[in-house]
Structures are given as C-alpha cells and as structure tokens.
Amino acid sequence: DIQMTQSPSFLSASVGDRVTINCKASQNINKYLDWYQQKLGEAPKLLIYNTNSLHTGIPSRFSGSGSGTDFTLTISSLQPEDVATYFCLQHNSGYTFGAGTKLELK
C-alpha cells in the first residue's frame, strides 16, 4: 500500500505570506495527487487535482507542483479565509490520504 507523509502538521502564518505544504509518497504516484481544503464543520473542498490543475472556482493564489513522490501545495498570498485544514490524496493506486495540515493565522 502507498503511504502519504504530509508536512507540516501545523502551520501558523500571516496574511500575505507565501505558504507551502508538502506531501511525500512512499512510491511513485506519477501525477495522481489532489489537494483539499476543509473548514470546520464543512465538507472537504477540492482545490487542485492531478498535481497542478486548479479546480473550478478556486482562486489562482492556490497552486500545486511536483511529480513522482514529492508534491507541494502553495498559497501565494495567504488570506484570512484560507484558515482551514489541508490534506492531500493519492489516487495512483487505490486511495491514500495525507494526515492533514492545520493552517492558522499568526
């Protein structure tokens, strides 16, 4: 089974900061990595699919990069509404989720 290691688990940043969250797969997952945002009490929301494709309606400050085993979600300029938990999901072989990154404002 493919394992996903997400880092950091917790992140504190200021409005306007550039924020990066990482996911590392235990084996090659090609481009099949998605990123989600989940706010308290809400359904998870797809941000980025297949490494770097922006989902419909998602602001362009969100972007994804990577390939093979190492992937990154970047928020170019953090906004107050971005406070949430972010998690990755690999779907190259079955489905495996990252453990999540809780993002708060400094």
Partner 1 sequence: EVQLVESGGGLVQPGRSLKLSCVASGFTFSNYGMNWIRQAPGKGLEWVAYISSGSSYIYYAETVKGRFTISRDNAKNTLYLQMTSLRSEDTALYYCARAYGATLDYWGQGVMVTVSS
| Residue 102 touching partner 1 (CB under 8 A) | no
**In whole angstroms, how close is the CB of 101 to partner 1 at the nearest point?**
12
| Residue 50 touching partner 1 (CB under 8 A) | yes
Alpha carbon distance 73, 64 (integer Å)? 5
Q: Supply angle C-alpha 15, 21, 24, rounded to 5.
A: 180
Cis peptide leading into residue 8 (ω within 30°):
yes
How crowded is residue 22: how many other Cβ atoms within 10 Å of its Cβ?
A: 16
CB of 4 closer than 8 Å to CB of 94:
no
Q: Which of 46, 54, 58, 83 binds partner 1 (CB under 8 A)?
A: 46
| Residue 9 touching partner 1 (CB under 8 A) | no
Q: Which listed range, 19-27, 43-51, 59-67, 68-76, lies at the site for partner 1 (CB under 8 A)?
A: 43-51
What residues line the site for partner 1 (CB under 8 A)? 32, 34, 41-46, 49-50, 55, 87, 89, 91, 94-100
